[in-house]
Every structure is written in structure tokens, then in C-alpha cells.
Amino acid sequence: MQLQTQEQQARASKEGFQASQSQHSLQLRELERSAQSAQFAVVNQAQQIRGLQQRQNDLNQLREQQSQRKQALEQEAQTIQIDEIDAQFQVLLARRVAQEQVLTQAKEALNQCATTLREQELNKQNAEKAAATQRDALGQMRLTEQETRLNLARYADEMQALAVDEAALQPLLGRSVKAYAAEISRLNGQLSQLGPVNLAAMQELAANEERQSYLAEQSRDLEQAMATLSAAITRIDKETRSLLQSTYDSVNANLQELFPALFGGGHAELTLTGDEILDSGMSLMAQPPGKKNATIHLLSGGEKALTALSLVFSLFKLNPAPFCLLDEVDAPLDDANTLRFCELVKKMAQHTQFLYISHNKLTMEMAQQLVGVTMQEQGVSRIVAVDIEAALKMREPEFN
């Protein structure tokens, strides 16, 4: 009994152990599935992170490209000068001339179409009138022929019934039967020459009316195109005239302000050589103090240089740029004119950075930083840079 009891207990323990082992196996499989899902989630998150990093890199590249594009556009905007305005003006004039030629050709084509349409309409009316007249004549001739035949037959029957001698009646008749027969033959010939009746006349009339409607529609389209071209030409002329007038007034005002500043007096202005600003030229009148010259060619080299600088700075003030490069513009100037030139550059340097090449001591004294080029050895150049403000600060302790 005790052995049976122990055996039953061992079996129960075995079954419990097997049940526990099965439960642990299920838990192990669940843990493996959870680990696999977690691994897949980690891989997916890593892919998303790589995608976000790639997108961030693309955005950075796009930002750099946009920045480079912005810098290029700013440099391009800085390089715009009056020559480009003149080129645009010439392009607009050429476009206007081309549009006027197209308008003239369209008018000629419209007039030619109208003339052709009137001629065709007149020819059509004449043809219809001639056809109606010929039809009426043909019908009348047929009626006359039929009536004549009936009369001849009736007269022949009457003459036969009355036993009339035709030879005896010949002297009484103005014309013979043969003459009437010849006349009948002639009329039949004329009828044959007229040809058959044109049964397609109505169809031709409908086709001509349809063509007339098409030509009228084309004429309306040409008139609308002419009106559009005229409006475009007027608008372009108005905008161009307004832009040129405002630019001319601004440059002229700046020139009248800068010329006395550079010369210490005098007067200069731009004048138009014609009444219409779109077609007229432009001349520069410059009178330094104490001179009454009639042309700019009578000025000296230094005066011409200052006049040119006045005009260039006038244009520069109209469309200022952050940088301005001057290459030995003070070479033909004396000390007094150089000082006035330096004062003007200092004044304009508040809004624009000037880079200039010069051998003049007065001009170099104005600079905040000097960059020199030396050649200690033959064929070997060396750059020497000096910060004026830093040099002055270094000298202050020595004086103190």
C-alpha cells in the first residue's frame, strides 16, 4: 500500500512537473516572440533615424545651395549698371519696332482680305444677275418657240383646210418659212450655248457665305490682336518713359550735388538732346568754377577725371552696392582735388566699403587698412598689410 501511495505521488509529481515544463515552454516561446518583435522595432527605429539624418543632410545641402544662390543674386544685383539699363532700353525699342511691323502687316492683311471679300461679293452678285437674266431670256425663248410651233401647226392646218396656195402668199409675207426656220435654228443654237441650268448655285452661295463668315471672324481676331498690341506698346512706352525719367532726374540731382563737392563749386547737369526721352540722346554739361566752357573736351585731364567721378558716384548713389572698387582714379588729380575726393569717399564710406588702388600719399592716409605689394627679389612679389587703427594704437604708448 505504501509503495502504491508513493507511486501515485511520484506520478502526480511527474504530471505536475510536466505541466510546469509545458507552461515554462509556452512562456519561453512568448519571450522569444517578444524579443523578436523588439528586435524588429529596434531595426525599424534605426532605419527611421537614418532616414531623418539623410533628410537633415538634404535640407542642409538645400540651405547651402539657397545661400549660394542668394549670394550670386546679390552679386548680380550689385553689378547692374546704366549699361544694362541702356541695353534693356534698346531691347524694348527693338521689341516696339517689331510689334509695329507686325501691326502694319496685320493691317495690310486685313485690308487685302476685305478687298478680296468685296471683289468676290461683287462677282457673285454680277454672276447671279447674269444667270437670272439668261434664265429669264431662256424661258422667254422657249415660250416663244413653243408658241411659234403651235402657230405654225395651226396655220398649216388652216391653210391645208382652206387649200391656200403657199406660193401665192409668199409675196405677201415679209419673210419666208425658211427664214423663220433659220431664226428658230439660231435661237436653238443660242439656247444650246447657254448650257444647262447651274443646280449647284445654292450650294456655292452657302459656301461663299460660310467663307465670308470665316473671313469676318478672322478680321475680328486681327482687330483684337491690333488692339492688344497697341495697348501693350502704349503700356511699355509709358513704363519705360516713367522709369527713364525718374532715373534721369535722380542721376541729374546727384550730379548737381556731387560735382560742386568735388570741384569746390561750379555746375554740372545732364541734358536731353530731344523732346521725346525714349528717342533722344543725352549730353553732359560741366562748368568748373571760373570756367565757361561749351564742351567737356576743353577740360583738363584732372577736371575730366573729377567730372567722370561725379557721374559715376551719381549713378552709384542711385543704386548703391556694399562694395566699390576704384583703380587709380586719383592719378591725374592735384593735392587740392585729391583732398576733396578723399572727403567725398569718406562721406560715402558710411554706407559702402571702398577698395581702391592708389599711389597718392593723401589718398593712402585716408585708408583704414593698407595692403602693399613689394618685390624684394626679381620676379617675386610679397603682400604687406597694415591696419592703420592698430598701428596708431601701438604708437600711443610711445607718446605717452
Residues linked to residue 372 through DSSP beta bridges, in sequence order: 384
In a shared domain, residues 124 and 215: yes
Q: Looking at the structure, do residues 132 and 208 belong to the same domain, yes or no?
A: yes
Of 216, 239, 262, the domain-final residue? 239
Total number of domains constituting the chain: 3
Sign of CA dihedral 214, 216, 222, 227: negative
pLDDT in tens, 234-287: 898 888 888 888 888 888 888 888 888 888 888 888 888 887 777 888 888 888
Cell, residue 304: 575730366
In this predicted model, which residue has the larger pLDDT, 145 or 293? 145
Structural domain range at position 174: 83-239
Could you tell me if residue 111 is inside a domain? yes
Neighbours of 335 (CB within 10 A): 9
Whether 8 has a pLDDT exceeding 70, the answer reads: yes
Tell me, yes or no, whether 219 and 173 share the same domain: yes
Question: Are 139 and 175 in a shared domain?
Answer: yes
Range with the poorest average pLDDT among 23-32, 111-120, 297-306: 23-32
Kindly indicate the confidence band of residue 224, based on its pLDDT and cuts at 50, 70 and 90: very high
pLDDT, position 168 = 64
Structural domain includes residue 7: no
For residue 223, pLDDT beyond 80 = yes
Q: Where does a domain end: 239, 266, 284?
A: 239
**Contact indicator for 314, 254 with CB cutoff of 8 Å:** yes
Does residue 46 belong to any structural domain of this protein? no
Instruction: Give yes or no for residue 82 having a pLDDT over 70.
Output: no
Whether residue 388 is contained in a domain is answered as yes
User: Other CB atoms closer than 10 Å to residue 70's CB: what's the count?
Assistant: 10
Asked if residue 284 lies in contact with residue 316, where contact means CB atoms within 8 angstroms, the answer is no
Q: How far apart are the first and last CA of the chain?
A: 123
CB 282 within 8 A of CB 302: no
Neighbours of 123 (CB within 10 A): 11
For residue 127, tell me if it sits in a domain.
yes
Question: Quick one: 181 and 167 in the same domain?
Answer: yes
Q: Are residues 354 and 373 in the same domain?
A: no
pLDDT in tens, 199-213: 677 788 888 888 898
The C-alpha cell at 97 is 519696332
pLDDT, tens digit, 9 for 90 and up, residues 125-137: 887 888 788 888 8
Same domain, 345 and 218: no
Q: Whole-angstrom Cα distance, residue 250 to residue 252?
A: 5
My answer on whether 205 and 346 are in the same domain is no
Please compute Rg for the chain using Cα positions. Answer: 54
Q: Which of 239, 273, 294 is the last residue of a domain?
A: 239
Does 343 lie in the same domain as 378? no
Domain contains 329: yes
> Does 313 fall in a domain?
no
Same structural domain, 346 and 389: no
In Å, how far from its chain's centre is CA 10? 101
Co-location of 99 and 190 in the same domain? yes
Query: Based on the domain organization, do 188 and 115 belong to the same domain?
Result: yes
Query: Within a domain: residue 378?
Result: yes
Q: How far apart are CA 137 and CA 187, in angstroms?
A: 11
CB 344 within 8 A of CB 101: no
